[in-house]
Structure 1
């Protein structure tokens, strides 16, 4: 009588399959634990109860958690991802917008003057504001009351 382990190729297959299943189990276990603590609708006692259940009886705890609360796991994951994306986008916008140098402002003013969007007088006033650190081009071109040349 021959068994599957009598063939080396079959032994390698079973070893890889058990390793894959073990890895997927750990992934699912950590996913459930993170979801327990990420969920804002659970109270502290609820989180503690689920955590103890998943730690003491991991197979049964994960199975019951997926049946009871699995539908909301995807929604919470998408909300968390969207929130992180929004935070990253606002950080990029804030960082990119705050590092404009005087040279960049002067180039933009020169382009506005070349296209004819502002007059030479407005250009000189705005250039003076940029060089003295008085503001950005949007403010400089809209306020034309200062008499600087």
Structure 2
């Protein structure tokens, strides 16, 4: 009997920890959305924060109901901006070289003696197959 009592106490604690962590995630999402929203006046942001401090559960529920759609749109917009910035960085870092650029680089390696004529022919065929 004692084992099952302790077992259900542990399950109960895990449930409450899960609920608390979920609440914190919602709270931080709301606060992040408040500061991300450019249309909302600073005073309204302060009022939302004050209500989140003093009446947290009710305010979070009201915020999610009243501003949930805009919250999702702002989150998607930020995700698109981050993806675009990542894509730009990858393109800049990797460099989008054309087949002629790759052949010219291979020709430079051939002229310097770093690669053989067979390797140059292989690199040239590889570059032309990408086009």
The answer to whether the aligner puts 1:54 opposite 2:89 as a matched pair is no
The answer to whether the aligner puts 1:37 opposite 2:35 as a matched pair is yes
- Tell me by how many angstroms 1:108 deviates: 6.5
Q: Superposition RMSD on alpha carbons, in Å?
A: 3.0
**1:131-146 equivalent positions in 2, closer than 5 A:** none
Structure (1/2) with the larger helix percentage? 2
- Residue of structure 2 equivalent to 1:87: 85
- Tell me by how many angstroms 1:28 deviates: 0.8
Mark the runs of 5 or more structure 2 residues left unpaired by the alignment.
Answer: 109-119, 126-131
- Residue of structure 1 equivalent to 2:113: none
Which protein, 1 or 2, shows the higher relative CO under an 8 Å CA cutoff with sep ≥ 6? 2
User: Structure 2 length as normaliser, TM-score?
Assistant: 0.68
Alignment equivalent of 1:74, drawn from 63, 72, 78: 72
Q: Distance in 1 between matches of 2:47 and 2:92?
A: 41
User: Structure 1 length as normaliser, TM-score?
Assistant: 0.61
Give the 3 Å change call, closer, same or farther, for CA 106–74 of structure 1 in structure 2. same
Mark the runs of 5 or more structure 1 residues left unpaired by the alignment.
Answer: 116-149
Q: Distance in 1 between matches of 2:79 and 2:107?
A: 36
Q: Distance in 1 between matches of 2:64 and 2:107?
A: 57
Larger Rg: 1
After TM superposition, what 4+ stretches of structure 1 lie above 6 angstroms from structure 2?
Answer: 108-111
Number of equivalences: 107
